[in-house]
Amino acid sequence: MNLVKGLQNLLGVSILLTLLAACSNGSSHRTTTETTFPFGAEEVISETDYDGDGHWDTRTIYSFVYNEDLQVTEVTGIYEDDENADGIADSRTINTSTYDPTITAEEIMIKSAVQKVAAPSNNSVFGAVLSHILVEYRSNEVSGEIAEYPNYRREESYTYTDEGKVLSYSYLRFYYNEEDGTLSESYSHTRTKTYDEDGKTIEESDSSSDDNDGDGVLDSSRSTICTMTYDSNGYLTSQSCTRTEDGGDPTVDEMTCTHTYTDGLLTQTTVTETGEQPYTLDFTYNEDGLVATKTKTSDNDVYRLAFTYDSEGRVISYTHRNENDYDGDDILNSVTEYLYTFSYDDSGRITEYSRQYRYDNTPATPEYSSNEIDTHIYSYTESGSVSSYSYTSQNDLDLDGEMDNVTHTRNYEFSYDNGSLVSISYDNEATGDYHEHSTQVLTYQDGLIKTSVWEGDDDNDGIIDDATTTEITYDASGRMSAYVETDYDGNYASVEETQAVALTYNADDTVTGTITTTSYGEGDPEVTTTPVSIDFSANGLPSGGMEFSSGSFSPDYCVTPSAETLLYYYRSDYIEEQSYLININIPKVLGILWNTSSEDN
């Protein structure tokens, strides 16, 4: 977690737009509707002088385009380097993204009939991603100035249904000759989906091609088109995939699912695939009609999945067992088991989950070859914030089936005042006499972060080994005017680094200032200065705060088997994550700086 190691370092944090939970109750002195990040800012500029010669070495410029509701529809980031201190960029990267804030895109990190990998994330804090375009310019080797033509360009684009389902995704990549801008190499990849009225995928296509020498003639190409059909219960009955490579004769892969129902419940599915051994899936149900077991049987492998539920229909135990008979002699060669348990509170939040892993490469004997269990326990405040988390890892040293050795524990305790995080206690112990401990205390002024003190004890001997202090100063109008963070070595024995921010709020609704980082070592201190400028002139200066996610916990839970997961039998197919953020309330201007001041963007 970032939070238990001090607050953010302005020159070391990458853009975290997808982690922000923006405040919605702020107001501007122009009564604009700056309800979401970046709160009406049109442009953010930062220039960093690493060597202290008075010339910027790197420059970052963010610009934002809004709709009439002050929702971001486009973000452009320009990142430049000046290696010879002449004030002219020697290299430049331009990254432009567009968004539709009216669409919440359905996650596409799911299995695909034509591509068994996860697709890129298509959601952001601004809404559904419509496009990403990245263009890179390098220095001209002869003139030393930035080249007239780019050397690289990448384009991604999405289209959606009104419900946020992805209709298409395209990825284009180009390499150019920088001398004249002619194409030297290209690659394209496109995926499309078609849905029926129930939202089920009935056709999916995937195509890609390469032009390795930029002559406009494809050197290789691949395409796959799959069509799917379903029965009246919503279960997949067939899938036909036609694959073509380099314009050759197409190959067709067919998959047919034959379903058997008993009293309206699916009890068996036989799956036949081109070039594969047929296999069967057998299902049993509990008295509520929920899947109790799923068994996948093929020649040499058996997958056995078992589920139990609470009164709300949530999975409270999930067992995944894989039995292997490698040589087909009806004698098991290995057994792998994962056993999960889950507990929930009245609000549906995970309060405890455990995962036990057992492996046996000699199933004929009673002992396991490996046996270990991880347990995670969570508690929450009435408002839903995480108040504690503990993790315990145990193993079975003598492999008799009983856990008898704790190898690792980790514990967090969080306390709040009127919903604001005010303290954290952290302990981390592991085998080998390892025990680290840290604490953090935060204070607030008018609901916004004022100070933070983090102290770390690497060996839990009661002596502080590292510390970080942060103090934010506000002006008479409640706006952040200064920010100072100091990193100490030892029990406050020496200063390792300081970072100081000074801001001025101007009459033209711009904010200007500097970020000064001073690093201390054996020689003279190294000072890095970054002037910053934020332009709010079009929409007015924002006031108030925003929730900034400084960390998160992501407990596992098991999804309930459904028609969509009919053919899934791997362990991870049913495990997903909840997410609980650890938020602090910070000034909006600081939130903009934290998310736009990295030299690594």
Confidence label for 257 from pLDDT (cuts 50, 70 and 90): very high
Q: Quick one: which of 253, 297, 343, 395 has its CA closest to 558?
A: 343
More confident residue, 241 or 599: 241
pLDDT of residue 16: 26
Confidence class of residue 123 from pLDDT cuts 50, 70 and 90?
A: low
Cβ(407)–Cβ(397) below 8 Å: no
Helix (H) or strand (E) holding 591: helix 588-596
Q: What is the pLDDT of residue 107?
A: 56
Domains of the chain by residue range: 17-596
- Within 8 A by CB and 6+ apart from 261, the residues are 233, 267
Average the pLDDT over 554-562 and give the result.
91
Strand partners, 581: 552
Whole-number Cα distances in Å, 180 to 151, 177, 477: 10, 6, 54
Closest CA to 528 of 80, 10, 45, 92: 10
- Residue 238 identity (one-letter amino acid): S
Structure tokens at 255: 């998959």
Supply the pLDDT for residue 288. Answer: 94
Distance CA 470, CA 451 (A): 5
For residue 560, is pLDDT > 60?
A: yes
One-letter amino acid for residue 475 of the chain: D
* 556-558/434-445 β-pairing: unpaired
Of 10-19, 81-90, 213-222, 446-455, the one with minimum mean pLDDT is 10-19
Q: Distance between CA 407 and CA 429 in Å, rounded?
A: 8
- What pLDDT was estimated at residue 142? 74
Q: What integer is the mean pLDDT of 524-549?
A: 89
Tell me the DSSP string of 165-210.
Answer: -EEEEEEEEEEE-TTT--EEEEEEEEEEEEE-TTS-EEEEEEEEEE
More confident residue, 50 or 366: 50
Q: Which of 55-59, 61-65, 384-388, 482-486 has the lowest mean pLDDT?
A: 55-59
Q: How far apart are CA 231 and CA 236, in angstroms?
A: 7
409: closest CA among 383, 388, 390, 433? 390
Q: Give the whole-angstrom CA distance, residue 38 versus residue 548.
A: 12
Q: Give the rounded percent of residues in the chain with a pLDDT score beyond 90.
A: 55
Q: What is the mean pLDDT of the chain?
A: 85
Block residue for tokens 């270990």:
372
End-to-end Cα spacing for the chain: 20
Amino acid at position 562, single letter: S
**One-letter identity of residue 506:** N
Average pLDDT over residues 389-410: 87
**Residue 597 pLDDT:** 55
Q: Are 376 and 553 in contact (CB under 8 A)?
A: no
Average pLDDT over residues 60-79: 92
More confident site: 316 or 420: 316
| pLDDT for the residue numbered 122 | 61
pLDDT of residue 119: 40
550: left (phi over 0), alpha (psi -120 to 50) or beta: alpha
- The tokens for 337 are 């088991």
Q: What is the dihedral of CA 178, 179, 183, 188, to 10 degrees?
A: 0
Higher pLDDT: 105 or 425? It is: 425
Q: Which has the minimum average pLDDT: 61-65, 344-348, 429-433, 554-558?
A: 429-433
Least confident of 60-69, 524-533, 591-600: 591-600
pLDDT of res. 330: 74
The pTM of the full predicted model, rounded to 2 decimals, is: 0.83
pLDDT in tens, 191-222: 999 999 998 999 999 999 999 999 989 999 99
Q: What is the mean pLDDT of residues 103-109?
A: 64
Helix (H) or strand (E) holding 338: strand 334-344
Between CA 368 and CA 398 the distance in angstroms is 9
pLDDT of 126 > 80? The answer is yes
- Give the rounded distance of the alpha carbon of 516 from its chain centre: 30
* Separation between Cα atoms, residue 598 and residue 499, nearest integer Å: 14
> With left for phi above 0 and alpha for psi between -120 and 50, is residue 368 left, alpha or beta?
beta
**Closest residue by Cα to residue 150 from 163, 160, 140:** 140
The reported pLDDT for the residue numbered 398 is: 77
Task: Provide CB contacts within 8 A for 233, sequence distance 6+.
Answer: 259, 261, 266, 563
- For 503-545, what is the HEC assignment? EEECCCCEEEEEEEEEECCCCCCEEEEEEEEEECCCCCCECCE
Question: Residues near 104 by Cβ (< 8 Å), separated by ≥ 6?
Answer: 123, 127, 128, 164
CA separation for the pair 303, 379 (Å, rounded)? 34
CA angle at residue 120 from 24 to 567, to 5 degrees? 110
Residue type, 180: D
CA distance 100 to 73: 6
